């Protein structure tokens, strides 16, 4: 659970990328250790990379940089953008898209510039995986490796959310009050969680509360969703990626079906694919050491080449 530990002191990088926006980030680990840029998904903030997971990666010899994407947490929110229309975007009308995953990939590169990091290993989860893939396509010289976690290619025939989860998470009465929203978000994480590794109920509620208090901006979440839809299918471009790639996905993921992970690995030449029984769309406590081992082992193998 995120804490007030001085190890996780937050900083702001200003005037990042072509958009000249501010990015909130935290950097942890030895500065001479291999850098790992960690990109979170839609409706999520850097605190959704659990502190203990970050510390596990540091203990395994990595330097980690986690950050809030644009329109999330303490980074710049695109409040002057036109209102997003997700139903229209899903129907093919992309006119309400104020930015795309390419812009978010440029933000990530801009943060590396601000930190004077020439190249980094890049780990992305869910939408963050799609941003990381876009970085590998459009900025390959900045990546030492790509790690795509519980993500997909943008092809609408793969990686889709379970209809049951769609109804349970996105249907029903709209949460309005702080308590209702916290309970709704915690419940959503239970629903998409790993069947083989239980969630920590107290942690779910505490993280949902912290996320709400750091940033509650439903319009920003919709802008990120529209950006994802507007970015389209990356499959053909992923076939041109030559960055060493690891794809991690759960066989019990109801939010991004495992076909998304398989399609990602099939598209990128030489990509390694690890599919995990009982893993859903979360970073459950018992799962974190296993994922940290896979990620650190892969990175150290790349570093040794």
Residue 197 inside a domain? The answer is: no
Tell me how long the chain is.
Answer: 305
Phi then psi for residue 22, to 5 deg, are -100, 140
State how many domains the chain has: 1
Beta strand 63-67 pairing with 245-250 = unpaired
Query: Tokens 């019990």 correspond to what residue?
Result: 252
Average model confidence (pLDDT) for the chain?
96
Token digits of residue 7: 């190890």
Q: How many CB atoms lie within 10 A of CB 116?
A: 6
Predicted local distance difference test score (pLDDT) of residue 291:
98
Judge whether 273 lies within some domain.
yes
Buried b (16+ CB within 10 A) or exposed e, 163-181: eebeeebeeeeeeeeeeeb
Rounded CA separation 291/98 (Å): 34
Inside any domain, residue 247: yes
Residue 23 falls inside a structural domain: yes
Residue among 92, 109, 91, 138 at smallest CA distance from 39: 109
Residue spans of the chain under pLDDT 70: 1-6
In a domain, 205, yes or no: no
On whether residue 39 sits in a domain, the answer given is yes
Query: Residue 301: its pLDDT value, please?
Result: 98
Q: Which domain holds residue 263?
A: 6-161+217-304
Encoding tokens for residue 207? Answer: 């993280």
Give pLDDT tens digits for 210-230: 999 999 999 999 999 999 999
Q: For residue 71, is it within any domain?
A: yes
For residue 15, give the CATH number of its domain. Answer: 3.40.50.1820
- Summarised one tens digit per residue, pLDDT across range 62-99 is 999 999 999 999 999 999 999 999 999 999 999 999 99
In a domain, 243, yes or no: yes
pLDDT at 6: 59
Distance, CA of 42 to CA of 226 (rounded, Å): 10
Residue 114: the pLDDT is 97
Please tell me the distance from the alpha carbon of residue 167 to that of residue 254, in angstroms, as a whole number: 12
């Amino acid at each position: 659970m995120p804490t007030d530990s001085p190890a996780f002191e937050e900083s702001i990088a200003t005037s990042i990328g072509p958009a000249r926006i501010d990015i909130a980030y935290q950097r942890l680990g030895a500065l001479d250790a291999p850098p790992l840029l960690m990109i979170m998904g839609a409706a999520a903030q850097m605190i959704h990379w659990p502190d203990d997971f970050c510390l596990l990666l540091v203990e395994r010899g990595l330097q980690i940089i986690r950050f809030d994407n644009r329109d999330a947490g303490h980074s710049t929110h695109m409040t002057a953008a036109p209102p997003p229309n997700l139903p229209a975007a899903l129907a093919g009308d992309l006119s309400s898209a104020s930015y795309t995953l390419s812009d978010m990939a440029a933000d990530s590169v801009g943060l590396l510039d601000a930190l004077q990091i020439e190249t980094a290993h890049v780990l992305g989860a869910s939408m963050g995986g799609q941003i990381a893939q876009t970085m590998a396509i459009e900025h390959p010289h900045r990546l030492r490796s790509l790690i795509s976690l519980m993500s997909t290619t943008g092809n609408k025939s793969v990686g889709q959310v379970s209809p049951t989860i769609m109804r349970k998470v996105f249907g029903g009465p709209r949460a309005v009050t702080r308590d209702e929203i916290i309970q709704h978000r915690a419940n959503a994480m239970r629903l998409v969680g790993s069947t083989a590794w239980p969630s920590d109920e107290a942690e779910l509620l505490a993280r949902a509360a912290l996320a709400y208090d750091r940033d509650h901006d439903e319009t920003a979440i919709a802008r990120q969703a529209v950006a994802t839809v507007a970015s389209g299918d990356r499959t053909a471009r992923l076939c041109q990626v030559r960055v060493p790639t690891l794809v991690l996905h759960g066989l019990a993921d109801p939010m991004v079906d495992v076909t998304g992970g398989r399609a990602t690995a099939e598209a990128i030449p030489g990509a390694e694919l690890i599919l995990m029984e009982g893993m859903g769309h979360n970073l459950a406590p018992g799962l974190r050491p296993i994922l940290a081992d896979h990620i650190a082992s892969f990175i150290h193998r790349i570093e040794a080449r």
